[in-house]
């Protein structure tokens, strides 16, 4: 059911209020009545109004003073005001009314049809605002439910996956039969890929739900890069990933999120680059910004490159993808949260290059913030 829309009428003459109320009568409209400025302010503290119709000439607090008080309060500063006055038309008074924040200034006697048409505009605007607020609340509830579902799903999946991976590792390391050991290796690889998928789904839910906030602090990108490279070298062996640095690579940023940038880009290069080819990670801090470049052999198909950062895409065609294709999307989101960006280029001769550009100081996007509160962290 739709909520009634409130219109405030303020006039020191009760008969004027009665006449206005009768003129504005309609099922979806609730008229609030006040015979003085202080009484009107008391009503404004209790109700949200779509429009205020104020008489100018009132004893004590006149309409202009009431309007100025309304404009000075965050709660009522947005309320549209229409002034009504029985005095002769005066350009200076009209100007003062608009200066006080009025959207219109009418002189008595007025045509009730004109007033009603003006009121209808503000009623429609208020109704649209209510609908948008309802839609926003519904969307937020869906986002919260989606994140809760993903968190529960992730937790419930990790437990059996851990048992599968541990059993597969036992088969691969301790069973003498080579065929069984190979099966164990494949099971472990598939299990690890499922773990990464779960993590990416959780990250996507948190990013889209606005649950990730920056915690900027001084970060040495070279240290982050080496830590991620060490983790991957424990899986794929040494000698494939090379890290090069130029200039000052210290910036203000969220170290945990930026570590994920390195992890996603290097993991993408290992997964989609030519088998056994070298991967080069270059850090350049010679400019006002810092850039991270990850290059590997292998070309991204021309029809895939334009949508490479879209969610649920990857560096291969859809029927060739071995994952959810969320890593690059999350990488771009993290870069843009810092006020930076990421670009990709790929040719048969130079291979595939992803370049992330980050400012020395984070510049969160509109609607985002960087704070010191404990946020939901990306897994």
**CATH assignment of the domain containing 30:** 3.40.50.2300
Range picked from 91-100, 126-135, 261-270 for highest mean pLDDT: 261-270
Give the N- to C-terminal CA distance of the chain in Å, as an integer: 42
| Torsion angles phi and psi, residue 130, rounded to 5 | -65, -40
Please list, in sequence order, all residues whose beta carbon lies within 8 angstroms of the beta carbon of residue 268, skipping any fewer than 6 positions away.
294, 314, 315, 327, 328, 354
Residue 185 pLDDT exceeds 70: yes
pLDDT of residue 285: 94
Number of domains into which the chain is organized? 3
- Written as six digits, the tokens of 19 are 């006449």
Q: What is the CATH number of the domain that holds 264?
A: 3.30.565.10
**373 domain residue, yes or no:** no
- Which range among 89-103, 118-132, 137-151, 294-308 shows the weakest confidence by mean pLDDT? 89-103
Q: In this structure, are 36 and 77 located in the same domain? A: yes
Residue 99 pLDDT exceeds 70: yes
Query: Confidence class of residue 209 from pLDDT cuts 50, 70 and 90?
Result: low
**370 domain residue, yes or no:** no
Residue 214 pLDDT exceeds 50: yes
Q: Could you tell me the CA-to-CA distances from 266 to 231, 239, 253, 275, 333 in Å, in that order?
A: 11, 14, 20, 14, 17
**339 domain residue, yes or no:** yes
Residue 239 pLDDT exceeds 50: yes
| Torsion angles phi and psi, residue 285, rounded to 5 | -115, 30
pLDDT of residue 200: 67
pLDDT of residue 75: 87
- CB-count burial class (<10 Å; 0-12, 13-18, 19+) for 331: buried
**30 domain residue, yes or no:** yes
Residue 42 pLDDT exceeds 50: yes
**298 domain residue, yes or no:** yes
| H helix and E strand count, the chain | 9, 12
Range picked from 82-86, 183-187, 246-250, 258-262 for highest mean pLDDT: 246-250
Domain C-terminal end among 208, 228, 254 = 208
Domain C-terminal end among 59, 89, 110 = 110
Q: In this structure, are 166 and 277 located in the same domain? A: no
Q: In this structure, are 257 and 320 located in the same domain? A: yes
Q: Could you tell me the CA-to-CA distances from 2 to 50, 125, 128, 129, 134 in Å, in that order?
A: 14, 14, 11, 12, 10
Domain C-terminal end among 208, 229, 251 = 208
**179 domain residue, yes or no:** yes
Q: In this structure, are 274 and 348 located in the same domain? A: yes
Other CB atoms within 10 A of residue 356 CB: 24
- Between 85 and 288, where is the model more confident? 288
pLDDT of residue 372: 40
- Between 323 and 6, where is the model more confident? 6
Q: In this structure, are 273 and 351 located in the same domain? A: yes
Q: In this structure, are 176 and 250 located in the same domain? A: no
Q: In this structure, are 275 and 335 located in the same domain? A: yes
Q: In this structure, are 105 and 36 located in the same domain? A: yes
Query: Confidence class of residue 162 from pLDDT cuts 50, 70 and 90?
Result: confident
Query: Confidence class of residue 252 from pLDDT cuts 50, 70 and 90?
Result: very high
Query: Confidence class of residue 89 from pLDDT cuts 50, 70 and 90?
Result: low
pLDDT of residue 317: 46
- Written as six digits, the tokens of 71 are 């404009």
Residue 293 pLDDT exceeds 80: yes
| Torsion angles phi and psi, residue 84, rounded to 5 | -125, 135
Q: In this structure, are 321 and 347 located in the same domain? A: yes
Q: In this structure, are 74 and 91 located in the same domain? A: yes
Residue 137, helix vs strand vs coil: helix
**172-189: average pLDDT:** 86
Q: In this structure, are 231 and 346 located in the same domain? A: yes
Q: In this structure, are 248 and 293 located in the same domain? A: yes
Give 347's strand partners: 351
- Written as six digits, the tokens of 224 are 């982050």
Please list, in sequence order, all residues whose beta carbon lies within 8 angstroms of the beta carbon of residue 191, skipping any fewer than 6 positions away.
161, 164, 165, 168
Q: Report yes or no: 168 and 191 within 8 Å, Cβ to Cβ.
A: yes
- Between 26 and 10, where is the model more confident? 10
**165-179: average pLDDT:** 87
Q: Which domain holds residue 22?
A: 5-110
């Amino acid at each position: 059911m739709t909520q009634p829309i409130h219109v405030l009428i303020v006039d020191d003459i009760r008969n004027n209020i009665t006449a206005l109320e009768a003129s504005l009568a309609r099922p979806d409209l609730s008229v609030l009545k006040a015979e003085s400025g202080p009484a009107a302010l008391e009503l404004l503290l209790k109700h949200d109004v779509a429009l205020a119709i104020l008489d100018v000439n009132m004893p004590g607090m006149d309409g202009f003073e009431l309007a100025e008080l309304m404009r000075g309060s965050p709660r009522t500063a947005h309320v549209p005001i229409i002034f009504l006055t029985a005095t002769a038309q005066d350009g200076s008074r009209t100007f003062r009314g608009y200066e006080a924040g009025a959207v219109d200034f009418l002189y008595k006697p007025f045509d009730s049809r004109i007033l009603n048409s003006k009121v209808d505009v503000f009623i429609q605007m208020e109704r649209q605002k209510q609908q948008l607020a309802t839609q926003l609340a519904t969307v937020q509830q869906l986002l919260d439910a989606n994140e809760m579902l993903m968190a529960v799903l992730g937790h419930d999946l990790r437990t059996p996956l851990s048992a599968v991976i541990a059993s597969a590792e036992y088969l691969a390391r301790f069973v003498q039969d080579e065929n069984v050991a190979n099966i164990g290796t494949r099971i472990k690889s598939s299990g690890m890929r499922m773990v990464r998928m779960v993590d990416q789904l959780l990250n996507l839910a948190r990013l889209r739900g606005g649950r990730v906030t920056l915690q900027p602090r001084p970060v040495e990108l070279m240290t982050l890069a080496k830590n991620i490279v060490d983790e991957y070298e424990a899986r794929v062996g040494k000698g494939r990933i090379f890290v090069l640095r130029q200039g000052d690579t210290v910036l203000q940023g969220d170290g945990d999120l930026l570590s994920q940038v390195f992890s996603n880009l290097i993991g993408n290069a290992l997964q989609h680059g030519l088998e056994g080819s070298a991967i080069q990670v270059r850090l350049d801090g010679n400019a006002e910004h810092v850039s991270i470049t990850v290059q590997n052999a292998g070309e991204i198909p021309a029809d895939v490159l334009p949508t490479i950062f879209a969610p649920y895409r990857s560096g291969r065609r859809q029927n060739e993808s071995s994952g959810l294709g969320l890593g690059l999307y999350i990488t771009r989101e993290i870069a843009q949260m810092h006020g930076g960006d990421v670009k990709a280029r790929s040719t048969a001769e130079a291979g595939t290059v992803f370049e992330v550009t980050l400012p020395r100081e984070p510049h969160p996007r509109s609607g985002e913030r960087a704070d010191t509160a404990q946020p939901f962290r990306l897994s």
